[in-house]
Structure 1
């Protein structure tokens, strides 16, 4: 079985996780000069729903952008991974995901008129110039996981701890940088050529294991994406093997592959398919759920569903049952896994019988978990800073296949409903503790339920006070009001991306989803029917 839990074997202190353009100007209330090129028309035009105050959203966006500015040395244009709640102390390291998040956030800040087009251009070009000089894996065009944000130097020693770093090239981290470069290419004319050159040299097939040749590590039909590779000799028996999928010297590829569809990793799959470097069959290789048979009874609960065939690949269209809803789960049950790729791809429009059902159901399930099931009074669960330590993966356990769970509270309540007749339940009626909510999760949900998200976030600010000079603090335990008074650039960038879509007529979706991207991806998403709905 190829599934392993999201590179847990890779020693990272922070699990990090993007031709055409925009059509005309955005709404008068938020418009900046129109971006160049044809694009996909807005999906949700018009005013915000009753109870959602645009001025408050803009204030939140302004403060969130201020945190990203504070994280970013002007000499390099590389944002730190995180910064203290008073915006005074940067982390000393950054990643491709962080850099990508800063780039798309600058585009959003421009469209919301938080910064001028000139400032956005200067910031973006500074970042691209630094990227063009940074050490990277030249055959694939990919970047390593950790760099010094002040110099752009690839890190071999981790700041603070002094632990050695073996530079690792992550498929999902490079996916978010690639997505951002594609957005910039299509929405910032003065930076388009430079962003396009960086994007065009990225080889997504360097991560793609077709599994069709004996020397390749075997994977599911359709082929899967490796977690990544080490470019230099690396001794991790059983965790890596020497090889290559492109015409280049061997690297040390992970035996771990991303093999669940509800995962942030699908951004790399989309990039590979849309560039023609990865075949469309790959989209159907990932699990929707693991099987329902007793020999798979280790995962969270027994799914229901049926097998369908797409492009010659048999897909078990399984779903978990939660509060009367049939939902395709992720690995951990976080909002990040479900909705971050949706910031760029209009999955709900292109896949109306799959993501068009799963995304709103997942949002509803997170809301019901926080307000009705666990009765925290607040909701929104996703990996974030830990109010009680450093970092933790929060989620709704019953929306994830991980049997250990991304839990929603402190110290951590793990419900267990059993697995049909295969495994008895051990904790079917849990009593939850101190719920930990993560504001960026509610911002992602705002793309589907803006009124509920706005009300939730307003209460987090007004009642809990989990808000500082850079916007919402990264997480808060709502019973004890213990706050993680820190800002993570990835989480801040997700907030900016979601607000760009909500306030500026699907800004990032339109920037990303050019006609050629739509032609490559929409037919694939359109053919699938998840096993979602109501029980």
Structure 2
């Protein structure tokens, strides 16, 4: 917070030197007042969001529920949690401490209890990975889903374990007393167990694996990290580059469990010289480039999709959290000035243009969230996704069928969109790249809808019907807290995570890459 204040004052003082004294003095005062008002608003968001995060936690175990009702009552807590949820609570606790919402003693007590429970959770012994679902009440691995009684086949997700490992790394550096315990857990997690070197030029990671035969899910038997026995891997890999699983890839590369060439092993877009990829969103622009990684030369198709006059490296579905959850912790736009540094702002601009201009909702910010009509859904901007079907921004699932030149024709663009669904966490993710637009969008959502409660912004709003999902989700509130920690506490999330092996391993890879323009 202090550094951001200093930045504003330095800029304002430069104006003082170039303007008449009376005008400069007034401008400086306006800068100060505007900054103070902005900080106070963000501080209010942080305090209220922390209230909902705190309400999700079972005191005895220190584990957060997946979600809680808008009334924040203990009885409305979900009876299940995940590694990602646990990670989100841990880093949210650090944010609460660093922004002055709780003191160091309380933060330590909370994290120590959670780390102690995590250390005792059942996990896959050979890989050190955690299962997808546990009871927040007692930490037991779930075999039956509490909401509908369906059978859970024990699964170990690469992306979920990536977020828990991120939080463990952060805690290790944010609280030195907890370092030995946090490191002991994280050091036992082998991300190489997800890495298939044979997939693509640089290898890709699987979505995860089961340690029991899941039978009807068409798994692939294998053992990528010499576990001593085959496991049942998902049939798919994470093949798209600009998606949230890259955090697990980064951790694997930094730890030496996955080779550096994997950074170039996923697709910016698929190549444009064949119709084999015509099922994707539209024909990309771009060219082949060669990069060095770990002593090897890797050829990469630097592709991008055109959207409203700008070329953008897409996510898989077109959502905000796929693109911008990772840079909450890793300064991609600084390490890769000619790649991520160009793409992140463009991606945010694309989301804004879709919400305000193309679909004319009057609001923006599309990302997986609760569905205001019930359940959970993936929302996004179809044209910002690599997948042809993409995620849609409205309840009616209005898609855009663009042509793939030389391979298939498209169809006329929609003339209107339906009941668009925005989620506030998407605006918080955009806060770094479009601060004025993000703050204005959040203020409009709060003003125009019954979208803000004691625990901060509710999860999602359908902007034409006015229907609101009055729930708080651990993951989404965790993203909000991380963004606010960076904004109010001198990039604390990045300071804890993005140093040491992560920087020395990844910064050179990002620095040399140039995305398609």
Q: TM-score, normalised by structure 2?
A: 0.91
Separation in 2 of the partners of 1:169 and 1:398? 31
Q: Deviations over 1:166-214 (max 9, x none)?
A: 1100000000000000000111112111111111111010111111xxx
Provide the C-alpha distance between the structure 2 equivalents of 1:301 and 1:48, rounded to a whole number of angstroms.
46
Closer/same/farther in 2, CA of residues 413 and 51 from structure 1, 3 Å limit: farther
C-alpha separation in 2, matches of 1:252 and 1:348: 36
| 2:41 aligned residue | 56
For the pair 1:227 / 2:207, whether they are aligned, the reply is: yes
Q: Which residue number in structure 1 is paired with residue 269 of structure 2? A: 289
- Aligned residues of 1:52 and 1:451 also touching (Cα < 8 A): no
Match of 1:274 among 241, 254, 268: 254
Matched, 1:180 2:175: no
* Alpha-carbon distance change, 26 to 74 in structure 1, aligned in 2, over 3 angstroms: farther
Matches within 5 A, 1:268-347: 268-292=248-272, 293-311=274-292, 312-347=297-332
Are 1:419 and 2:404 an aligned pair? yes
Q: Counterparts of 1:166 and 1:484 in 2: how far apart (Å)?
A: 29
Cα distance between partner residues in 2 of 1:382 and 1:91: 21
What displacement does 1:101 show?
0.4
Aligned partner of 1:10 in structure 2 is none
Shift of 1:431: 1.2
Match in the other structure for 2:82: 95
8 A contact 2:158–2:208 mirrored in 1: yes
Cα displacement string for residues 312-369 of structure 1 (whole angstroms, at most 9, x for unaligned residues)? 2211111011111100001101110000011110000001111000000001111111
Aligned twin of 2:378: 393
Measured in 1, the distance between the counterparts of 2:356 and 2:441 equals: 10
Return 139-148 or 247-256, whichever deviates more: 247-256
Deviations 1:398-430 (A, max 9, x none): 000122220001121101121123211123244
Residues 196 and 224, structure 2, Cα contact 8 Å, conserved in 1: no
Mapped partners of 2:98, 2:366: distance in 1:
28
Distance 1:47 1:109 in 2: 25
Counterparts in 2 of 1:15-26, with a 5 A limit?
Answer: none
Pair 1:531-2:511 in alignment: no
Q: For the structure 1 residues 228 and 49, does the alpha-carbon distance in structure 2 shift closer, same or farther, using more than 3 Å as the test?
A: farther
Question: What is the 5 A alignment of 1:135-534?
Answer: 135-211=122-198, 219-236=199-216, 238-292=218-272, 293-311=274-292, 312-532=297-517
Structure 1 position 113 matched with structure 2 position 100: yes
Q: Secondary structure at the match of 2:117?
A: helix
Preserved contact between residue 145 and residue 168 of structure 1 (Cα < 8 Å): yes
* Secondary structure, counterpart of 2:63 in structure 1: coil
CA distance in 1, matches of 2:392, 2:487: 28
Contact 2:255 / 2:501 at 8 angstroms: preserved in 1?
A: no
* CA distance 1:69–1:29, change in 2 (3 Å): farther
Residues of 1 paired with 2:477 and 2:333: CA distance? Answer: 23
Q: Report the Cα distance in structure 1 between the residues aligned to 2:166 and 2:353, rounded to whole angstroms.
A: 32
Question: Does the aligned pair in 2 maintain the 1:334–1:396 contact within 8 Å?
Answer: yes
8 Å contact 1:49–1:450 — kept in the other structure? no
Unmatched runs of 5 consecutive residues or more in structure 1: 1-24, 31-45, 212-218
Q: If the length of structure 1 is used for normalisation, what is the TM-score?
A: 0.88
Which protein has the larger Cα radius of gyration, Structure 1 or Structure 2? 2
122 and 48 in structure 1: CA distance in 2 versus 1, 3 angstrom threshold = farther
* Structure-1 separation of matches of 2:314 and 2:219: 26
Q: Distance in 1 between matches of 2:32 and 2:509?
A: 32
Counterparts in 2 of 1:515 and 1:429: CA distance versus 1, 3 Å: same
Is 2:55 aligned against 1:70? yes
Shift of 1:109: 0.6
| Cα pair 1:241 1:255 within 8 Å, conserved | no
1:125-152 C-alpha deviation (Å, 9 max, x unpaired): 0000000111001111110000001100
Aligned-partner Cα distance in 2 for 1:87–1:431:
37
How has the CA–CA distance of structure 1 residues 427 and 405 changed in structure 2, closer, same or farther, with 3 Å as cutoff? Answer: farther
Q: Shift of residue 291 of structure 1? A: 2.1
SS at match of 1:126: helix
* Matched-pair contact (CA < 8 Å) for 1:227–1:258: yes
Distance 1:479 1:360 in 2: 27
Instruction: Report the CA distance between 1:256 and its aligned residue.
Output: 1.0
Match of 1:22 in 2: none
Gaps of 5+ in 2: 7-30
Instruction: Check conservation: 2:337, 2:511, Cα contact below 8 A.
Output: yes
Between the aligned partners of 2:246 and 2:57, the Cα distance in structure 1 is 28
- CA apart distance, 1:483: 0.5
